[in-house]
Chain A
Amino acid sequence: MIEVKGLYKDFGALHVLRGVSLNVEQGDIISIIGPSGSGKSTLLRSINLLEKPTYGEIWVEGKLITPPDPYLHWDVIRASHTYAALRAEGMDDEPAILKIKKEDLLKPHEGSAYNHLMKQIVKDHFEDTYSVRRRVGMVFQHFNLFPHMTVLENMIYAPMKVNKVSREAAVEKARALLNDVGMLSKIDAYPGKLSGGQKQRVAIARTLAMEPDIVLFDEPTSALDPEMVKEVLDVIKKLAETGMTMILVTHEMGFAREVSDRICFLDEGTLIEDAPPDVFFTTPKSTRAKEFLDKVL
């Protein structure tokens, strides 16, 4: 359902992600954990393009959502002038491809077969950012409710504006979702009147109102007072039981172990473990993961 291939993200000289690959199947619940600064949030935010990856590709439900990365399509590189020149010098196939710099390939190559093939990939598979975001919901650490709108208005705004749902249908859906997260009584309140836990429950309901196929959670409980963590985790757990595909970045190890199908351990921009929770928490393979678990458990 989601395929992350060789993802790199640089912020200037800072290499936040260094070649992360990840597969998520329909109904999977994946928890991404790791030390702070390991690139967890950047990886998550790349999946709905709040961060634009430097290299690599992301595929969501068979659609390419990033620009194509020539390094993932060697047949395409073989069509470039640079490759032809290197071959003419007598270099072998693979060394020739590896010698070509990514930066050079990403520059426009007017009129070349290479250029044509790159365009063809875009034409066949590319999906624009806005329609990706309609299918990929996101829940933020700081809730990001719209403070000038009531809970109901927060809930119905995007469904009406983006999905062109009628007001009646949007309100009905909003009431049902708010009921699910136990916030129906606050439907006419402004976010400023709600506690952190209540805000996050509304934010989760707002994301679900768009009927996404996948929901991304970016440290959904990190900004909450301890006594409010449970109410939010309960809502997420309930959602998990409905079979929703979810990716969570979280520091709640107990919760991650309980609900996840797989744990992805990220360190210094590299995915170094991808295992079922029972395996990861009991017998981690890498020393980095062992050290991390010793500190947090």
Chain B
Amino acid sequence: MQLDFSIILDWLPAFGSALLVTLKTTVCSLILGLVISVPLSLCKISNFKPLQWFAFFYTSVFRGVPLLVQVFMMYFGIPLVLPVRFTAFQAGTLVFAMNSAAYISESLKGGISAIDVGQYEAAMALGVHYPSMMKDIILPQAIKSVLPSLVNEFISLLKNTTLIASIGLVDILCVGQQIQSRTYRAFEPFFAISVFYYVLVLGLSVLGKALEKKVNASDRG
């Protein structure tokens, strides 16, 4: 069959607004996920067993249940038993955020335990209290060391957001499906979508490398 990429041009405005949806979901999820991951990682390194159990349980749930199932649960399931209603965007963002929090907290935990005990001792010897010590001394160093895996998390989050098409939010994938059903063409739209994602991810990787280099500048002796 003849390939006709001109249809992509016709749909460019739709792709544009869909791209915004994808990026908005990804960025919101990442930020929210980071915010959740910090207390979660602190639970994991805590000496208080119930906090550890909670964090372990949380992580195992979000790792163990397929992401699509989590999305359906949040959007269709939860509103039936709890007095909450989510838009597709809210449900998707919440699930992706909680999901990436599980993964980020795991690497953050690794980052925290990799920090030399001398850093804690120096902070304690200066009379610094635990919350300030974590916020100003330990976490900044830990986050720096997990930055590469954070970029990876950003990338997989970006790709995972295609799942929100399944609860009716018009993201890039959804536009592709619309083109397919209107024009009966599948290769062109999905090829275009592949290129979109590929370029985005490539851009992110480059950005991540640059960021990594910048924050590491202070460490090089």
Contact = CB atoms under 8 A, between A and B. Distances in A.
B122 interface: yes
Binding site of B, secondary structure by majority: helix, strand, loop or mixed? helix
Interface stretch (B32-40, B186-194, B213-221): B213-221
A133 B124 contact: yes
A133 B132 contact: no
Interface residues of B, number: 22
B136 A157 contact: yes
A130 B125 CA distance: 9
Interface string A32-59: 0000000000000000101000000000
Interface in B168-212: none
A142 B136 CA distance: 20
A127 B79 CA distance: 53
Interface stretch (A22-30, A63-71, A143-151, A269-277): A143-151
Interface in A147-201: 147-148, 157-158, 161-162, 190, 192-194
A131 interface: yes
Contacts of B144: 148
A144 B120 CA distance: 9
A144 B118 contact: yes
Contacts of B220: 192-193
B128 A144 contact: no
A140 B137 contact: no
Residue from the set A145, A146, A162, A194 with the largest chain B CB neighbour count within 10 Å: A146
A87 interface: no
A140 B122 contact: yes
A133 B141 contact: no
Contacts of A78: none
A192 B125 contact: no
Contacts of B121: 50, 138, 140, 144
A158 B118 contact: no
Contacts of A288: none
Nearest to B140: A148
B125 A146 contact: no
Nearest to B143: A148
A210 interface: yes
A146 B119 contact: yes
Nearest to A163: B127
B126 interface: yes
Contact of A190 (B116, B122, B219): B219
9 contacts: A133-B126, A136-B125, A140-B125, A144-B121, A145-B122, A158-B128, A161-B132, A207-B125, A210-B126
Interface of A: 48, 50, 130-131, 133-134, 136-138, 140, 142, 144-148, 157-158, 161-162, 190, 192-194, 206-207, 210
Interface of B: 116, 118-119, 121-129, 132, 136-137, 140-141, 144, 218-221
